[in-house]
Structure 1
Amino acid sequence: MANLDVESGEKASSAPNPEAPSPELARWKWTLTLIGLCLGSLLYGLDTTIAADVQAPIYEQFGEIENLTWVGIGFPMASVAVILLLGRLFDLFDVKIINIVSVALFEGGSALCGGAPNMSALIVGRVIAGIGGAGMYLAALTYVSVFAEPSKVSLYNALMGFSWGVGAILGPVIGGAFAVSSASWRWAFYINLPLAGLLAPAWLFVFPSHNPAPSLDVFTKLRTLDWVGALLNAATYTLFIVALTFSGARFAWSSSTVIVIWAVWAACLLAFVLQQTFSIFTSPERRIFPVHLLRHKDFILLYIATSCSAVANGVAIYYMPLFFAFTHGDGPLQAAVRLLPYIIVFITFVLIAGGTLPVIGRWSIYFVVGSVFTIAGSAAMFTIRADTSPAKVYAYEALIAIGSGMTFQIAYAVMAAKVTRKDQANAIGFINVAQLGTTALALAIASCLFQNLGFNFLKDALTDYDLDDSFLRAALGGAASAQLQSAPPEVVRITVETVAYTIARVFGTCIAASALLAVSSVFMTWEKLDLTGQEQEKAI
């Protein structure tokens, strides 16, 4: 199989790069490295969602309801803000060193969260941990692209997605367990420290090194980075999430504060597009976003499809525990446990897709079939109400899990097979932005919808009870909120029904994403890729 040199638009030989690492890496060393990468990805997934079920005790200790949402959003927001910069760092510096630095940031942020004296320190800790976690996950994908045999790339990528998914589901479970235990919510963050301690010997002494640019010194590498692009990219993502979080919930949509934030975001977005398009203060080879990949139709469609899968997965993970917390009175732990059917199905199909892709080769069929399941599941979730049976909800979310599991991770392997080795890091960063970046954006959009729609729906439904706005905002925080527990039974009933209806409306984002996934899959090239490495061996 010949790879595509996107810069030139021509086919390039798939023979290995002479600077590639030795294929004689000891099997035991590679096996331990894979185990360490999977566990690191699990920790990243764990922290992505662990705040979902610890926000209530955090609010009880610190208050500041207006800042509580940042405990959950701060982590993925920080991750997406630095994904492209991290991708460039992995393209220049030793992957082992960047991974160790990322682990240090992740653990330092976790320690700050666990020992936070106030809400501000907690949010800062979540941001630091988010940066480090993104580096850990990207390191895992980089190691796979550099060291794995071609025939096993898709399977190993599936394993990383599997590990992240397990962590993402265990996050609410573990967070909920600590939230109701004597250990307190702080151990939801402290738990990362002993787990990382177990992995430290592997990270330090087992993981292999790979320096993609050994001829350049550190200062030269730093000078080659597109710092202007990195800053504009981070500002664009951060301001978008800040604007969504503030709009309606903290400030009125028509307020000058909200208008200014949206205006600054639009200016940063425009500046970033222009700066990347015309390589201002950088060069085409050094710009932070791999613009040249946009010349290929299938790469754009893979980006869109992976983004749509991330939307469906992210919304399901965050809002199903909330649904059961309101409608069945589940505590944090029990509500999170109800996600296990989803994660079992999701993980199963992530692995099935990764394992069968090299055999089938026709990658576009996974997106076609996956879109059918996500559309069916999302449309069904749009119909749920407070009295919908758990069995039906499990069946609906299983449909989403099948579809998102089939489409969540395979773009990494497809991109790796369709680009030259010099574009491997660009391809990983490109899909990373789609997967992790869209997850952060989807959660911000879903939170905005939930807060604004929920507030308006509750205000209309409870208009006869003359309740102030602070009660309504707090009631949206969970059925266990102090305000709701002390309310009259009829108010509780109306609130539960209204919030369940609101959560169903939030799944409208999944319907839109699934429809876009279906449209994208139709236009993908119907081809059979060689993902077994056999043709590469012939070329050698």
Structure 2
Amino acid sequence: MADRFSLLKILLRLIPEVQAQDPNSVRPIHGWQWFLVIAAIYSTAFLYGLDTTITADVQPAIIETFGQVGQLTWVGVGFPLGSVATILPIGYAFGIFNIKYFYLLSVIIFGAGSALCGAAPNMNALIVGRVIAGAGGAGMYLGVLNYVAVFTSLRERSLYSGLIGFIWGIGTIVGPVVGGGFASSSATWRWSFYINVVLLGLFAPALIFLAPQFQPRPGVSFLEKLMELDWFGIVLIASIFSLYVVALTFGGIEWAWNDNRFIAVIVVFGVLFITFIITQYFAIFTTKERRIFPGQFLRQRSIVLLYLGTAASASAIFVAVYYIPIFFQFAHNDTAIEASLRLFPFMMVTIFFVMVNGALLPVFGYYMPWYLLGGVFITVGASLMYTVNSETGKSNIYGYSILMAIGAGSIVQAGYSIAVAKVKPHEIQAAIGFINIAQLGSATISLTISGSIFQNVAFSNLEHILAGQEYSQEEIRTVISGTTSIVFQNMTPELKEAALKGIVQAMSKVYILVIASGGLIIISSCFMKMEKLFGKA
């Protein structure tokens, strides 16, 4: 209820501003037109947050439809993979192309990817759709940031910018609930993706006919702008992330660790990674000003430490978002919608501490203590989650996850404001892109690693438990997808109980990654300067 009143106060503060036609305004539209435009672009920030977590609670339903449990990790990791593989070139593109047209292109790509997911005839089509939607979603989110930066004055910008993070956060909170609700209803999980198309269609007229245009580089031809992009670097960074996901998704599940295919993918990944480093360092096929990766920040200790802190804290969030609902479905036999509601305490506390950090960091100025304490909370919470078994009570899970939420929420967004304060004015956009890679890249990396751990350990446990029961490997893997599995339903009560313990035990192993993330934050904080960056708020 308190959150509702806070949002109402923010909206009430907005109304006078959107109605006032200030002659010094930086935007060409005012009043109800601007209100419709800002509502429309904020809706895309909401959808980006929604799609970031919406598959957390629909994976069992998808596996029930398509099978292929070995590709389960792709359902969650496809969206952030599409985002992280394109976030840097998209950010650069917004600096040279007409932001309205590029933003609308991103909206169309997101909608097309969502439609493909909803209509997917098989798992491969669904995965492709998730990657496409992720790329479009990254463009939408950066488009919102650019619209606010261009069409708001300095006096009002902090309010509009703060609302972006708030609305994105609301989207991430309700994502599992929306996904779980559709998965549990007659509409089926497909409407978890179709709903994006419906909402985009609702706000499309405002975006098309009312949203103002801005041309960052007037007088420069479209072809010249295309030539400015670091195409070689763009292809390399997309390939590197894709090969990484392929290796860890199929390794140990579809391919043995010594399989020639796995080894080949790892070798190609390594070659491309080294090639990317060399070409970016020496600005091959590009210039230092136009290279896709802002490598100059690797020489700045503070920026590197902020990158590590952002990546590690985001990893804690994404692992919890995807594995807390799955735990409740297995251990407490929750439905998809019930399990998603269990995530509310974690997400609400995370968003609350994001806001606390945003409010207090400029007041006190010292950022190192936030990272030190945040790392401690994450480590303690994840260590307790590691001890969880099938008999652990619900209140315990809430308490453990809230500790993680306090730590992650306190620092996951802090890197943006700190990095901007640490770099030169002309490097601000590049610094934001650098932290974006940390946050979005960590989603891809953490979900891939945790998915590989869960799939491999769970399969090993079930293979041992079900030895002599004449189940095939594929049938054993279907048990991992959820308690609705036909194989699981046909087990004897004794085997069910043993299988549940084996799966939950495998699930607890994913928190080793979060413990390591918390430890990395603590170590990184010890190397941060005890300096005061911000003046009087």
2:116 maps to 112
Q: Residue 4 of structure 1 corresponds to which residue in structure 2?
A: none
The answer for the alignment partner of 1:481 in structure 2 is 485
**Alpha-carbon distance change, 279 to 168 in structure 1, aligned in 2, over 3 angstroms:** same
Distance 1:265 1:151 in 2: 47
Pair 516,168 (structure 1): closer, same or farther in 2 beyond 3 Å: same
- Where does residue 321 of structure 2 map in the other structure? 317
CA distance in 2, matches of 1:227, 1:381: 43
Counterpart CA distance in 1 for 2:425 and 2:221 is: 22
1:267 to 241, 255, 271: 271
Aligned ranges 1:114-513 → 2 under 5 Å? 114-146=118-150, 159-463=163-467, 465=469, 467-513=471-517
- Look up the SS of the partner of 1:191 in the other structure: helix
Per-residue deviation, residues 469-517 of structure 1 (Å, max 9, x unmatched): 2232111111221111111111110111111111111101000001101
Identity %: 44
Query: Which letter does structure 1 place at the counterpart of 2:195?
Result: I
Relative contact order (C-alpha < 8 Å, sep 6+): which is higher? 1
Give, in whole Å, the separation in 2 of the partners of 1:516 and 1:150.
36
2:26/2:152 contact within 8 Å kept: no
* Greater shift in the superposed pair: 454-463 or 102-111: 454-463
Q: Please give the TM-score of this superposition, normalised by the length of structure 1.
A: 0.89
Contact 1:103–1:132 at 8 Å: present in 2 too?
A: yes
Residue type matched to 2:174 in 1? L
For this pair of structures, how many residues does the alignment match? 512
Partners of 2:528 and 2:323 lie apart in 1 by 31
Aligned mates of 1:400, 1:202 — CA distance in 2: 40
Q: Is the 8 A contact 1:154 1:354 kept in 2?
A: no
Q: CA deviation at 1:94?
A: 2.7
User: Which string of whole-angstrom CA distances, capped at 9 and with x for unpartnered residues, describes residues 383-424 of structure 1?
Assistant: 111111100110110111111111111211222233344323
Kept in 2, the 8 Å contact 1:247–1:253? The answer is yes
Say whether 1:101 aligns with 2:134.
Answer: no
- Aligned-partner Cα distance in 1 for 2:535–2:288: 29
Q: 1:150 to 1:293 in 2, by over 3 A?
A: farther
Provide Cα deviations, 1:120-143, integer angstroms capped at 9, x if missing partner: 332222221111011112223334
- What CA distance in whole angstroms lies between the structure 2 residues aligned with 1:79 and 1:299? 22
Alignment-mate amino acid for residue 348 of structure 2: I
Q: Secondary structure at the match of 1:173?
A: helix
Greater shift after overlay, 389-398 or 141-150? 141-150
For 1:500, give the aligned amino acid: V
Query: What residue is the counterpart of 2:13 in the other structure?
Result: none
- 1:531: Cα distance to partner? 6.5
Q: Quickly say closer, same or farther: Cα 1:59–1:477, change in 2 above 3 A.
A: closer
Q: Is the 8 A contact 1:374 1:401 kept in 2?
A: yes
Residue of structure 2 in register with 1:72 after alignment: 76
Residue 154 of structure 1 and its aligned partner are, at CA, apart by: 6.7
Quick one: structure 1 residues 515 and 428, their matched pair in 2 at CA, closer, same or farther if it must change by over 3 Å?
same
Gaps of 5+ in 1: 1-21, 534-540
When the two structures are superposed, what TM-score results if normalisation uses the length of structure 2?
0.90
Paired amino acid for 1:312: A
Stretch moving more, 214-223 or 463-472: 463-472
